[in-house]
Amino acid sequence: MKSRATGIFEMAMIRRVTHAYEETLALAAKFAKVLKRGDMVCLFGDLGSGKTAFVKGMAQGLNIAPEHVHSPTFTLMNIYEGKVPVYHFDLYRISVADLGGLGYEEFFYGNGITVVEWSERLEELLPKDHWHVTLTHAGDDKREIRVTVQGKSLKARLAKVKL
């Protein structure tokens, strides 16, 4: 019997291991070069896995001073003005129910690039077209970073990323 294609075959992935904080920044800065207005970057990973470091690196790649990048704690989102605006969300303390009334969706397909820490919280609300970035502790200062995408257009762009 012929096996049926499942969603998993539609995905493409890049996997790298960084060995220091600065290496994660540099990797994320290169990654950012392929991003465009309207893109959504969803970060997954435990406490201290390097999500904010990744956002700082992305910022560098988009001509935003990384020292401006901090996880929003008292606001839902920080906005950084660079080559394009970057909307930085951190959903650690936010439940999906809380998100409901906040009008956050307008940023997802908006004028800039959206990056979300703790995307685990969004679950089924995630749009299909997003950059799925998972950071995992791999011992000491090592972090495994996986970038996964679905769909023809993002796969073509992922193929151009030189990390």
Contact positions vs Mg ion (CB under 5 A): 51-52, 71, 117
Compute the distance between CA of residue 92 and CA of residue 99 in angstroms, rounded to an integer.
Answer: 12
CB of 42 to ligand ATP, least distance (A): 13
Q: Does 53 bind ligand ATP (CB under 6 A)?
A: yes
Compute the distance between CA of residue 50 and CA of residue 81 in angstroms, rounded to an integer.
Answer: 22
Task: Spell out the residues 6+ positions from residue 4 whose beta carbon is closer than 8 angstroms to its own.
Answer: none
Of the candidate residues 13, 15, 33, 48, the single one contacting ligand ATP (CB under 6 A): 48
Contacts of ligand ATP in 11-40 (CB under 6 A): 18, 20-21, 23-24
Of the candidate residues 42, 49, 108, 115, the single one contacting ligand ATP (CB under 6 A): 49
Q: How does DSSP classify residue 68? A: G
**How far is the CA of 36 from the CAs of 74, 114, 121, 144, in angstroms?**
28, 10, 24, 24
Q: Which does 39 bind (CB under 5 to 8 A by kind): ligand ATP, Mg ion, none?
A: none
Of the candidate residues 32, 40, 41, 45, the single one contacting ligand ATP (CB under 6 A): 45
